[in-house]
Amino acid sequence: MNFGGADGPTFPGEGFTPGGHPAGHTTAQADAAHRHPAPFAFGGRYELGRLLGRGGMAEVHLAHDTRLDRVVAVKTLRADLTHDADLQARFRREAQSTASLNHPAIAAVYDTGEDLGHGADGGAVALPYLVMEYVDGMPLSDALFAEPALTPDRVLELTEGVLQALAHSHRQGIVHRDIKPANVMVTRTGQVKVMDFGIARDLRDAGLTRTSMVIGTAQYLSPEQALGEEIDARSDLYSVGCLLYELLTYRPPFVDESPMAVMYRHVQEAPQPPSLFNPLVTPAVDALVLRALEKDRAHRHRSAEEMLDEIGACLGRRTFAPAVQPPQQEDDSGADDRGGRRATVALLVAAAAVVVLAIGLGWFMLGRGPADDGRVDVPALVGQTLDDARRAADNVGLTVTVTAKEPCEDQPKGHVCTQSPADGRLAEGEAVALTVSTGSPEVEVPDVLDKDEDDASRILADKGFQVTTRHVESAEETGTVLDQDPDGGEKAERGGEITLTVAKEAARSTVPDLVGRTVDEATELLAEHDLELGDTTRVESDATAGTVIGQSEREGAEVDPGTTVDVQVAEAKETVEIPGDIVGGTLAEVRGELAGLGLGVSVASGSSQASDAVVTSSTPTVGSEVARGSTVIVVTEETPSGDEESTQGASPSPTTGTTAP
């Protein structure tokens, strides 16, 4: 539980033993016992038990209210800080802020005062204290890592509780300014309790905080808080956006090495969508969170009610709450007559506030005036669990007694069906008689398999069941009910929950164009489309070496996520030079020489194919660079036979008509 200051501690919720005495001892408790020897009672009424937690400015003890015989938590300013006037003012401000708020989602302050204690030097000091509702549960900062894991829907439901508390405080003109997981408790029954209004600001009190002062926790600060500007209710909504982001993704929207660096990122950087870290987050929830985290508060939700309405839409229901404009600082520009009217109104409001505050403080400090005749209003308990009803009655000094347990048409098992009296006033300590439900009557569950989701939900709702849905990828038509739990035909409690498994379209990936990209670039591009690189084949090509020249899946094709795409990659061709000595050689010699260089030989049409024919020219010409494996075309001439050479080489005889001697 968190009852400390801005850096509030966390601790487990444990109760008292019978008689109001603290159960068990730890080192911290022994230390507390040393500083407050038993019996030690603040205000002569609150017997301190073990130390529950210690924060930056306060300590919280489990305590027993001897007057009303109930467990409470007593928060005191740390003894070593009792001489700090600013901290004392802040401590009193928390009492004033929280005491003015009365809402089930806000941890209540029952009493406040001062008592003598021992300072750090051992001397007697006046210790201010708050008597607070004891919340049995854990902070969201712990619930985030508890089992089972929080689903996005459960996160939205918890955030609804926080926003309901803020909607109430904002209507009272109070801004919390330190919303974070450690300052929000979840009870054992799942109820949300917002804690620690220690740095809350009443917007009607302009002198409470200097404009340039930065207050809050860095990871959850709104940009205007980080800049030390004036704040309004929308600053709390930004912090709720940070809290919602962390509950969905297990990390705040901005993380860095120092608080100053985190504050800078709040002011300068846009957050990543939560779905980037949690694929279960829907686009609607992405939009909700990113709107809450807008840098310009004018672009955020205008009120906690408006944000609640959007959460309701994300959960499949709408509240259509009226939009409430957040309290804002007045713009003092404009005509003098408007400024004069504003000044007059401000003075009237301030005067009225002083009167109301004076009456309220007198009522609070002096026994709550003549109307406090020892009788209290009877709380509405119908619909609550028995444990919650006991706590609600205990909070106003009443008790409860269970007079009957019977089936109840409109209440699930363990919830209050009726109460007597239903309203009015009772003397403190009197009992409210309760009838507790043993469960709604069981009815047959309709079979809605293969029906459309909307039709199935309507059929089940008409039978009085609550419906939850989960969507799974399927080849069936989108929206078709694939399964239901409990099955159709079974008996189930009216008002119970039926879970439907509904088909949704299987995700598809689009194949990108990889041609012209390097292998690394292709790998990265495929990953962006949820695809993988398959085999790479090297192919000689005139394209740039190392680039993709072909792919197994065509560009733009729709394929299953995770599909592998094979590619062909260009490889430079090897070249050789046609030697110059082939001219004049025989065809057989040229064939052998060029074959040794990886080249083929083809004889030109009309040239001799004889192996001893002489090569006279080639195409490409000698000295040219050609790709290995190319074919060289040669032109040849036949070699003259031996007789012809003799005849042609002999000198002709003169034709004189005479015979040579």
What six digits make up the tokens of 97? Answer: 């802020």
Name all contacts of 350-359 with Cβ < 8 Å and 24+ positions apart: 350/204, 353/204
Report how many helices (DSSP H) and strands (DSSP E) the chain contains, helices first: 15, 33
How many CA atoms are closer than 13 Å to the CA of 592, on its beta-carbon side?
7
How many Cβ atoms are within 10 Å of 463's Cβ, its own excluded? Answer: 14
178 is catalytic: yes
* DSSP category for residue 478: T
**Distance of alpha carbon 492 from its chain centroid, rounded?**
35
Q: Is the Cβ–Cβ distance between 21 and 63 less than 8 Å? A: no
- CA separation for the pair 646, 565 (Å, rounded): 73
- CA separation for the pair 332, 337 (Å, rounded): 11
End-to-end alpha-carbon separation of the chain, Å? 145
- CA separation for the pair 170, 111 (Å, rounded): 22
| Helix (H) or strand (E) segment spanning residue 125 | strand 124-133
- CA separation for the pair 217, 531 (Å, rounded): 41
Strands 564-571 and 425-427, bridge-based pairing: unpaired
Q: How buried is residue 148: exposed, middle or buried, by Cβ count under 10 Å (0-12/13-18/19+)? A: exposed
How many CA atoms are closer than 13 Å to the CA of 563, on its beta-carbon side?
18
User: What Cα–Cα distance (Å) separates residue 412 from each residue in 286, 379, 458?
Assistant: 34, 20, 20
What six digits make up the tokens of 651? Answer: 């000198």
- CA separation for the pair 472, 346 (Å, rounded): 57
- Angle, helices 283-292/304-314, rounded to nearest 10 degrees: 170
Q: Is the Cβ–Cβ distance between 152 and 281 less than 8 Å? A: yes
Annotated binding site: 75
- Angle, helices 152-171/304-314, rounded to nearest 10 degrees: 160
Largest CA distance in the chain: 176
Torsion of the alpha carbons at 304, 305, 308 and 309, rounded to the nearest 10? -140
| Helix (H) or strand (E) segment spanning residue 109 | strand 109-118
- CA separation for the pair 159, 566 (Å, rounded): 47
Annotated binding site for ATP: 75
Options 178, 196, 232, 309, the catalytic residue: 178
The residue ranges of DSSP E strands in 1-108, in sequence order, are 16-17, 21-22, 41-42, 46-54, 58-65, 70-77
Q: Is the Cβ–Cβ distance between 442 and 493 less than 8 Å? A: yes
- CA separation for the pair 159, 314 (Å, rounded): 12
Active site residues: 178
